[in-house]
Amino acid sequence: SKENFFFIRGFMILFLSCLTIRVNLCFSSILSLKTLQLDGHFNFDEVHHAARDFGNRYQFLPLAVLHPKSVSDIAIAVKHIWDMGPTSELTVAARGHGHSLQGQAQAHKGVVVNMESLKGPEMQFHTGKFPYVDVSAGELWINILHESLKYGLTPKSWTDYLHLTVGGTLSNAGISGQAFRRGPQISNVYQLEVITGKGDVVTCSREQNEDLFDSVLGGLGQFGIITRARISLEAAPAMVKWIRVLYSDFTAFTQDQEHLISAENKFDYIEGFVIINRTGLVNNWRSSFNPQDPAQASQFKSDGKTLFCLEMAKYFNLDKAEMVNEEVEKLLAELSYIPSTLFLSEVTYVDFLDRVHVSEVKLRSKGLWDVPHPWLNLFIPKSKIHTFAEEVFGNILTQTSNGPVLIYPVNKSKWDNRTSVVIPEEDIFYLVAFLTSAVPSSKGTDGLEHILTQNRRILDFCEKATLGVKQYLPHYTTQEEWRAHFGPHWEVFAQRKSIYDPLAIFAPGQRIFQKAI
């Protein structure tokens, strides 16, 4: 009818006008970015890489990728976007090594800052009583390790995998088996240089601009772009005794883990993992570990069972090898693992810290690295870890785990509750990390859908049973969920956002705040 015709025509005109406005906005954004005088450069064509991450599930194309050569390049770009005000759609995401899981370092139609391009200034070491190093936030931890060792020094707290950037891990927390003793990486930083949402370059620490310092640590990239960090160092050991033992009893396993993290000067690293129905496990370990009792160990069968592996490490220098052997023997005598399952190894400090990279090389060679990674990382209060394990390892994950399942406790006293990271309200809490890989296009138990359903079941159980669990490397899609995640800390988090990034320019991929346009 005539009415319909006019209605459709009107709708089409409106739609095309909106489209034209959007395309014009896009062009004017590109044009305006092109006018900026930078040491580095923008790339408007090769932007696909910035729309990918380790999770391999989310892909949001940015409008441009900034390859900064200097801190001022980033400040100029952010200031420019700030000056455009709320009329511009542009957002900014710092991209470290892009090892996020759900697009957290991506910026749909925005600007991605490739932090690894920011090479300078060179690492500056300060030796002395409290040694530290000043590094660019786009630096990989593996490079910091190698450089520090030239001075006989090392950072104190790590992640399991070192091919991650300083800015990326400090925006979360950065944890590994050293955290029970040293705290997370965010507890081992003295000072940061940050570019705020207005394009200001600000130095912050416990002594100077403390609120910004706390905001940014564990701040999920919401308050600014970290451009430089001052990281606390200590004397580096040469060697590591690396030990694994097995338990079939979860209570004995956690009791021993908690015993080991309760006192200083025991092991330097405590982790653990769950083994679900694995065949030939002990044989697989033999390439890198020696069973203390080879005959007994070869009788041990892991298939069909759920087992818990306690992993410990003790650092040492060769002149103290004898003494360390005695200490380790004494410590092991306090534990109640299955006696035939003691496995020992001695490796260099670098080989120990860079151990996951060995797996990366193997997986890459088999084409199994660039697959979807529907990981789930949870912090679970100590008082609820048995309830959690009973349901998750007893009912939900019984046949296979589709990847490692880490489980280890840390001491809350080593975390600073002024920072932005959210952790459970108990003195000891566990990290449980389901580090799954999905087989692309599989519809079976190793497929993405199945693993995501399993993750959902785990999260639903935690919620129903009110376990007080918090996600680590959190991922939510609505602000309601984020509010629940932060709980009583939400007000402070939102207030800090309004101070340091009032237009909500930064890290849109976290989906916490939306730029008001």
**Is the CB of 116 or the CB of 256 nearer to ligand FAD?**
116
Q: Which of 473, 503, 505, 512 binds ligand FAD (CB under 6 A)?
A: 473
CB of 63 to ligand FAD, least distance (A): 16
C-alpha Rg value of the chain to the nearest Å:
25
Total residues contacting ligand FAD by CB under 6 A comes to 36
Per-residue tokens: 468: 């007080």
Per-residue tokens: 491: 């007000």
Secondary structure of 292-311 in HEC code, one letter for each residue: CCHHHHHHCCCCCCEEEEEE
Long-range Cβ contacts of 296-301 (<8 Å, 24+ apart) = 296/339, 296/340, 297/340, 297/341, 297/343, 299/340, 300/246, 300/338, 300/340, 300/341
Centre a 10 Å sphere on the Cβ of residue 491 and count the other Cβ atoms it contains. 10
CB of 322 to ligand FAD, least distance (A): 32
By CB under 6 A, is residue 164 in contact with ligand FAD? yes
Per-residue tokens: 495: 């207030």
Q: Which of 114, 171, 187, 191 binds ligand FAD (CB under 6 A)?
A: 171
Active-site residue (options: 134, 160, 200, 211): 160
CB of 377 to ligand FAD, least distance (A): 8
**Is the CB of 223 or the CB of 250 nearer to ligand FAD?**
223
CB of 110 to ligand FAD, least distance (A): 11
Candidate ranges 170-178, 344-352, 389-397, 488-496; the one touching ligand FAD (CB under 6 A): 170-178
Per-residue tokens: 4: 């319909």
515: left (phi over 0), alpha (psi -120 to 50) or beta: beta
- Contacts of ligand FAD in 35-64 (CB under 6 A): 53-54
Angle, helix 479-486 to helix 490-500, in steps of 10 degrees: 120
By CB under 6 A, is residue 470 in contact with ligand FAD? no
Which residues, in sequence order, are CB contacts of 4 under 8 Å at separation 6+? none
- Contacts of ligand FAD in 96-115 (CB under 6 A): 96-100, 104-105, 115
Q: Which of 68, 110, 131, 174 binds ligand FAD (CB under 6 A)?
A: 174
What is the spatial distance between Cα 257 and Cα 268, in angstroms, rounded to a whole number?
A: 13
Residue with tokens 């772009």: 225
| Helices H / strands E in the chain, number of each | 16, 19
Q: Collapse the DSSP code of 420 into the 3-class scheme (helix H, G, I; strand E, B; otherwise coil) and give the result.
A: coil
Is residue 160 part of the annotated active site? The answer reads yes
User: Is the Cα dihedral 350, 354, 359, 362 positive or negative?
Assistant: negative
CB of 304 to ligand FAD, least distance (A): 29
Per-residue x/- mask for ligand FAD, residues 299 to 318, rule CB under 6 A?
--------------------
**Is the CB of 96 or the CB of 272 nearer to ligand FAD?**
96
Contact between 376 and 104 (Cβ < 8 Å): no
Question: How far from the centroid of its chain's Cα atoms is residue 294's Cα?
Answer: 37
Candidate ranges 90-98, 144-152, 412-420, 462-470; the one touching ligand FAD (CB under 6 A): 90-98
Is residue 351 part of the annotated active site? The answer reads no
Active-site residue (options: 53, 73, 268, 271): 271
Angle formed at CA 407 by CA 253 and CA 509, multiple of 5 degrees: 170
Q: Collapse the DSSP code of 330 into the 3-class scheme (helix H, G, I; strand E, B; otherwise coil) and give the result.
A: helix
Phi, psi of 117 (to 5 degrees): -70, -20
Q: Which of 71, 76, 175, 385 binds ligand FAD (CB under 6 A)?
A: 175
CB of 101 to ligand FAD, least distance (A): 6
Candidate ranges 93-101, 265-273, 386-394, 436-444; the one touching ligand FAD (CB under 6 A): 93-101
By CB under 6 A, is residue 137 in contact with ligand FAD? yes
Which residues, in sequence order, are CB contacts of 217 under 8 Å at separation 6+? 170, 186, 189, 192, 416, 419, 420, 421
Question: How far from the centroid of its chain's Cα atoms is residue 433's Cα?
Answer: 11
CB of 431 to ligand FAD, least distance (A): 8
Contact between 434 and 475 (Cβ < 8 Å): no
- Contacts of ligand FAD in 199-258 (CB under 6 A): 220-221, 225-226
By CB under 6 A, is residue 176 in contact with ligand FAD? yes
Is residue 354 part of the annotated active site? The answer reads no
Active-site residue (options: 53, 67, 97, 99): 99
**Is the CB of 50 or the CB of 342 nearer to ligand FAD?**
50
Binding residues vs ligand FAD (CB under 6 A): 53-54, 93-100, 104-105, 115, 137, 159-161, 164-165, 167-169, 171-176, 220-221, 225-226, 473, 507, 509-510
Active site residues: 99, 160, 271
